Structure 1
């Protein structure tokens, strides 16, 4: 099997896992507060990533970093998982999954915009057009089709969903200067973030968890969304001979996710969700065209 085929299989595996997490979020939040869900998911993720590092023979890398890098792990852990997932789960706690999930996908566009001031990249006309198309979709979803009234279904929930994209994009901006092994870095971020989440959970919501669907869903999120999916995606990127083809697989995820949301959660998917999601995906596709053009220029010595 060629490297590109392996990359596509890893990518498809990741997309399938990502497609299920919006449903898992909502199942977990039926009985758990966002911070309780975060504590369980983060704990499961730390265990899974530790096992992965041991199986790969890279566990020793956890202990080979400089003092500065361990401090960096704590700082990045406050952003992801602490802040990012608390904000994201807060959005899912207030919004239907069919609304929160597409809004979160706009983080890729936010990343492109933040790259201008922080990474010195140029903002092109295509970026502005992509933004207009994407956020038109956001407005359609957030107003449930009542665009002219601009009456948002849940202003705080929508604000949290948009805020999560800012936090996530900021995290990846900072990560561009991260010299640590990706899996080791993520493991340490979660490990250092875990005590903070534990203290906040103990202080606010308590540590009493009832076994059941919600608890199982939170563990699922930690194992697959926060752990295995990240590793699969990093493998896909390493194996890929054409990263654009692999990256384009993410466009399948939000539509596949609606299938799980409808049949497992029982949400009636609104026409405004389909229209808004198509607009968001179209905007992201436009933004991706710039990335493809840059890759082709590099390949052909442009």
Structure 2
């Protein structure tokens, strides 16, 4: 699978051909986030609840759900934990790798992801679309699902292409923290031993307590405070192993100003470095203050590609 260096073609977003898919998935997810009908308890961990439900299409693998709460972390802050693949490998026991293939907006994109295999089972890979919806009350919904092959995302040798019927997050304000729900309905396709199927059912909803634990231990990933900015966000990534590197690649818009929030208490307790690279960086002004990097984009950076990088000292 060819992974593009810049999923926003030539720095700009591309038309989204999959809005009908994410709209349908979100409708189905909202019907199940708080539903009690048909859900059976799998287990609990650190106050989080894991459940399963027989799929209406008769799939051998049930729909699974994890529910939990985190104190002192707002929905938009926790959202940074669940959307970065550089964090996901620490809380999703089945995740191997993931990439954005095409970007349709700041938060809507086509993706390619790989789930780990074993000596009995080939790794599974998925090609899908993801989108995020922000509600006025501060709630955040993430909707994901498989998309048809467009001729550019065919089978990959050594991997079995799975079907992600739906997956998604509900992150709602609760007191000074967040209430979190994660639902997944997946068909890995091909032949899989019963024991492996049981393991998938157990492991997948554990993503909720695992993500909560990791967030409480490692802190919040840097993120733009404003929900919308004028510059085009081409790439936003995080690598925990590579000096806790946060990379924000932009196509600048003159006059734009925004803040990148930085967790100095847990993520960067020994301090952090801020770097700017690329075109027109002499016209990109960065000012640091307590827990924040303020960016101001000048005329000379208008329409230019540049990056803001934050790493631990």
Q: Structures share a fold, TM > 0.5?
A: no
Q: TM-score, normalised by structure 2?
A: 0.26
Relative contact order, higher structure (CA 8 A, sep 6+): 1
Q: Which has the higher helix share?
A: 1
Q: TM-score, normalised by structure 1?
A: 0.27
Q: Which has the higher strand share?
A: 2
